[in-house]
């Protein structure tokens, strides 16, 4: 099954197939409004504005599985993202990214890329381990703002840990190659 066969709900409740984005380079991110990493919305929006004309899309998938850091309704999430970060990239309805109710999209993403590129100077996984908040398996999503880069052909090319920002060398090197 291709990711283009997967249906998702937009933040406004419309069912869409990811086939809508076929031929574009995609960055899929599980997001949250009340997370220490929420400020990444600013960098994501700047990247989206800079690269959208090249056939690049960012897709945001709110998730409330990490300490309840996305408690709002879809309308509240949309308002928060627009008012606080000027988000214009497509946002979708809340989904689960881990566990028994993991959305089929994340089942496919994780199957294609079971481990993430880590931040060499980061320590998010260590902090989560200290707090006993690590996910059940190593392939599970670690936390909010984990990122998957998908090529224009629909192949999942890379997965980045939540503390690898879109301005980091680890990310920009891979994205530049994909967009070249």
**95: CATH:** 3.40.30.10
pLDDT of residue 48: 98
pLDDT of residue 108: 97
The helix/strand count (H/E) of the chain reads as: 5, 6
| Six token digits for residue 153 | 């052909």
DSSP string over 59-126: EEEE--TTTT---S-HHHHHHHHHHHH---S-BB-----SSTT--HHHHHHHHH--S-BPPTT--HHH
CB 158 within 8 A of CB 27: no
pLDDT of residue 104: 96
pLDDT of residue 136: 87
CA distance 130 to 134: 9
CB 147 within 8 A of CB 164: yes
CB count, 10 Å around CB of 112? 15
CB 15 within 8 A of CB 2: no
Domain count, the chain: 1
Which positions are annotated as active-site residues?
Answer: 35
CA distance 27 to 59: 6
Per-residue pLDDT of the chain (180 residues; tens, 9 = 90+): 799 999 999 999 999 999 999 999 999 999 999 999 999 999 999 999 999 999 999 999 999 999 999 999 999 999 999 999 999 999 999 999 999 999 999 999 999 999 999 988 878 988 898 889 989 899 999 999 999 999 999 999 999 999 999 999 999 999 999 998
Q: What is the extent of the structural domain holding 97?
A: 3-179
CA 73 to chain CA centroid, Å, is 18
pLDDT of residue 131: 87
pLDDT of residue 129: 87
Helix (H) or strand (E) holding 54: none
């Amino acid at each position: 099954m291709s990711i283009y066969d997967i249906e998702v709900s937009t933040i406004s409740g419309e069912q869409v197939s990811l086939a809508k984005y076929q031929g574009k380079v995609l960055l899929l991110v599980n997001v949250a409004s009340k997370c220490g990493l929420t400020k990444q919305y600013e960098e994501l929006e700047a990247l989206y504005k800079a690269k959208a004309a090249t056939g690049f899309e960012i897709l945001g998938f709110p998730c409330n599985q990490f300490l309840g850091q996305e408690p709002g309704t879809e309308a509240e999430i949309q308002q928060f993202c627009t008012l606080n970060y000027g988000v214009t990239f497509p946002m979708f309805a809340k989904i689960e990214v881990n566990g028994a109710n993991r959305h089929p999209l994340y089942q496919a993403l994780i199957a294609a890329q079971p481990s993430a590129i880590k931040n060499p100077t980061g320590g998010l996984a260590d902090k989560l381990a200290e707090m006993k908040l690590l996910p059940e398996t190593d392939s599970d999503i670690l936390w909010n703002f984990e990122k998957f880069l998908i090529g224009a052909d629909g192949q999942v090319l890379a997965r980045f840990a939540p503390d690898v920002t879109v301005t980091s060398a680890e990310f920009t090197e891979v994205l530049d190659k994909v967009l070249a």
